[in-house]
Amino acid sequence: MKIRTAALATAVALGLAIAPARAQNEDVSEVVVTAARLTEYDPIKTPYVSLKKRPDNLITVVRVLCDTRDLSQRRNELKATLRNMIKAAPAAGVELGLGEEIIGRFDESMLDSVIRPDSRPDTSQAVLVIKTRISPTDTFDAATGRIMAFADKTPTVGRAEIVPSEDWDLTLIGPQKHRGEVIALVAEDARRASAAFGPQYAVSVEGLQLPVSWYQSGPLELALYIPYRMTVLPKGTQ
């Protein structure tokens, strides 16, 4: 399984992904969690206590390419293929989106804005995100299979083709809304630590003002944590 190598970064570098403005309410924003924080995970520095969550969606980047020589016809073929994708998505169990760190909705009103020149001559492309919702019983193979089947079966028009990436990311809607659950787990761990050392000791916890971070702990599992630091000290010395 490949996670977050070049696909999303390439789309942004070429100016092909249209990212929506960062939402003011992070409790409802769909965040690409493995892309944003995967590299921050350090098994030495990351606290033991974490909240395990399944992602809301699995996503990948898809390029819709067309190399018809006439520009007008090429754009029409791309638009028709994109319309077919929009129409076929619900029955295939997928959704189309745009963005890198925060995923926004893609619909027919955005067709003109996503079609850009490709690096090859006489070729145009549109770069989208395909996502599929993760159910409690889903597997990685089942989720990726839905996306790949959608890309294979959606009718293309003219010389257009649908080319999905082999890189996968996970998303979570409003990761910061889980902050209270993470703090509750930290508090319970602190109580156990204090009890283990006896009534003469107390626990000091620093860093709980920091935002929730995360890393991928399984193919379809995320570990949410706050990078706190806990110290056990004799009472009266905190």
**Same domain, residue pair 61 and 156:** yes
Q: Where does a domain end: 143, 170, 197?
A: 170
- Is 28 inside any structural domain? no
- Give the pLDDT confidence of 162-210 residue by residue, as tens digits: 999 989 999 999 999 999 999 999 999 999 988 999 888 888 999 999 9
Domain assignment of residue 26, yes or no: no
Residue 148 lies in a domain: yes
Q: Which long-range contacts (CB under 8 A, 24 or more apart) does 132-136 make?
A: 132/57, 132/58, 132/59, 132/93, 132/94, 132/95, 133/56, 133/57, 133/93, 133/95, 134/54, 134/55, 134/56, 134/57, 134/58, 134/170, 134/220, 136/54
Q: Which residue type, as a one-letter code, is found at position 203?
A: V
Are the beta carbons of 83 and 158 closer than 8 angstroms?
no
| Shared-domain flag, residues 150 and 192 | no
Q: Residue 70: exposed, middle, or buried by beta-carbon count in 10 A (0-12, 13-18, 19+)?
A: exposed
pLDDT at res. 20? 38
Question: Mapping DSSP to helix (H, G, I), strand (E, B) and coil, where does residue 40 land?
Answer: helix
User: Model-level pTM?
Assistant: 0.80
Residues 90 and 45 in one domain: no
Looking at the structure, do residues 120 and 16 belong to the same domain, yes or no?
Answer: yes
Domain of 201 in residue numbering reads as 33-53+175-234
Write the pLDDT tens digit of every residue in 104-152: 999 999 999 999 999 888 999 999 999 999 999 999 999 999 999 999 9
- Give the tens place of pLDDT for each residue, 66-77: 999 999 999 999
Which pLDDT score, from 0 to 100, does residue 100 have? Answer: 84
7, 116: one domain: yes
Domain count, the chain: 2
User: Is residue 16 located within the same domain as residue 40?
Assistant: no
Residues 208, 156 share a domain: no
User: Both 116 and 195 in a single domain?
Assistant: no
| Closest to 63 measured CA to CA, from 82, 46, 47 | 82
User: 127 in a domain, yes or no?
Assistant: yes
Phi-psi region of 17 (alpha: psi -120 to 50; beta: other; left: phi over 0): beta
Identify whether 104 is part of a domain. Answer: yes
Assess whether 40 and 129 both reside in one domain. Answer: no
- Judged by average pLDDT, the poorest of 22-31, 76-85, 180-189 is 22-31
Domain presence at residue 160: yes
Q: Are residue 217 and residue 155 in the same domain, yes or no?
A: no
Specify the higher pLDDT residue, 69 or 100.
Answer: 69
Q: What pLDDT score does 48 carry?
A: 82
Note whether 198 and 235 are within 8 A (CB).
no
Q: Are residues 109 and 185 in the same domain?
A: no
- pLDDT of 23 higher than 70: no
